[in-house]
Structure 1
């Protein structure tokens, strides 16, 4: 292993190691909450709507991410069920978190009389930015990488030395798929923000649907390069199957809603009624 490889432990607190992964994830979530709260005010909602949602939505998302991972990687946990609760050993899946958080969002909007599509629209760019940042937690953990490659290939990508060094794991260099997805998500964030600023361009809900289309498209191909995928059956990777379903479903819903008499996404005046 390279002597310059990044240490996954940031520091110790009372003898307990604090990992870079946790710091990066918490920071990305905090930034997403801040940006979403600012956008909420612009569309006529309250910043507290975001914070109140996250109070329960955040722990539910972590639980959902853990359940998703355990369900599709069940064998090790059947042998030692107590490890299901050992979060520090790793094992969460972003799709599980998005599913659990999305389910809570629908319930929260219904009970607080908030337009669910407006909430999804304000959250989508912040979520994909948090995903872009969060992938660097995988980098610090030396995980979520692709198959073996060569030093020459990585150098041809003109990557910083610290990334190349950290891709040297157990005697081999690996594809930095964490970086591919991080950059893809960052591009998605920029595109969504730019489109969202255009007056009378996107209808209500289309910021969110474009997020689903962009993220699922990139994730489908990047997931195919990874060596740590969860499998549905045979060679079918869970995240690829779900990405395909979300991509097709989001396009279909986008086309359907585009034909409806729906309001445009308006950053100057919010509509807080709940719409079925």
Structure 2
């Protein structure tokens, strides 16, 4: 059975790739869920939409820049391919760094607690990551080491998925599937727990996401054969996963010691009234 076509359809001369469709679908679902939760927490939907208009392009550019930077020996010889983002080659950690900077500066300008906005976004972001990995599947990328047909059949995977894992004449570990499953499970856990009374302080839903994702990514990254490398010896994503995992736990411990100075997640936006007054003055 031949590999699946990474091109979904054509709009005249334009090729629409499955990779882009999966990412676009993930963004739409994530924004919809974030807006719904934002209303409950006192964040204006217009603020979330405005933030996305800035965060999305910056995240894409940062993700591609991150990837190209660690693959510069190749791209320095193929400059024309730098913009070919539709062929894959974006780094999730790069997108998170870019989007995180936008969230910080945007929230400071709109009287929205940064930690609260990150909490609202975190479960939807990990859900979007889980969906986006299927774009990697269609492009036959983000795969793992060589394995056997019997191993893949032992996972009770459908035939079309197993066939897509036949890459360069050998069956590969479906690491995209492992990470997608881990991400969706994390989404379910966060969505189930974040409305529990007196459980999360503001910032801890996001930090829990960081802990969950970085823990799984560390082990899954170790199985991949296309990792970005530092000094040709260290897997960049594994190193960053360790830093984020330890850092997120340390931040939770530190902020918990501050006690009542840190509001609970369910308290929502304490600046809602102040923000409305500021907007009225601008008008």
TM more than 0.5: yes
| 1:270 is aligned to 2:269 | yes
Q: Which runs of 5+ in 2 are unaligned?
A: 275-283
TM-score, normalising length: structure 2? 0.93
1:1-276 to 2 correspondences below 5 Å: 2-3=1-2, 5-260=3-258, 261=260, 262-266=262-266, 269-272=268-271
User: In 1, Cα distance between the equivalents of 2:266 and 2:86?
Assistant: 42
| Coordinate RMSD, CA, aligned | 1.4
- 1:79 is paired with a residue whose SS is coil
Deviations 1:189-229 (A, max 9, x none): 01111110201111111000000000000001101111111
* Superposition deviation, residue 108 in structure 1: 0.3
* Superposition deviation, residue 92 in structure 1: 1.1
8 Å CA contact 1:42, 1:270 repeated in 2: no
User: In 1, Cα distance between the equivalents of 2:69 and 2:103?
Assistant: 23
Larger relative contact order (CA 8 Å, sep ≥ 6): 1
User: In 1, Cα distance between the equivalents of 2:180 and 2:71?
Assistant: 24
8 Å CA contact 1:128, 1:185 repeated in 2: yes
User: In 2, Cα distance between the equivalents of 1:12 and 1:84?
Assistant: 23
- 1:11 is paired with a residue whose SS is strand
Q: Which runs of 5+ in 1 are unaligned?
A: none
User: In 2, Cα distance between the equivalents of 1:47 and 1:63?
Assistant: 25
* Superposition deviation, residue 90 in structure 1: 2.9
8 Å CA contact 2:207, 2:248 repeated in 1: yes
Bigger shift: residues 183-192 or 159-168? 159-168
Task: Find runs of 4+ consecutive structure 1 residues off by over 4 angstroms.
Answer: none
- 1:143 is paired with a residue whose SS is coil
Deviations 1:120-165 (A, max 9, x none): 0000000000001000110111110001100000011111122111
Deviations 1:93-117 (A, max 9, x none): 1110100000111000111111001
Deviations 1:56-103 (A, max 9, x none): 110000000011001111012222333322323432111101000001
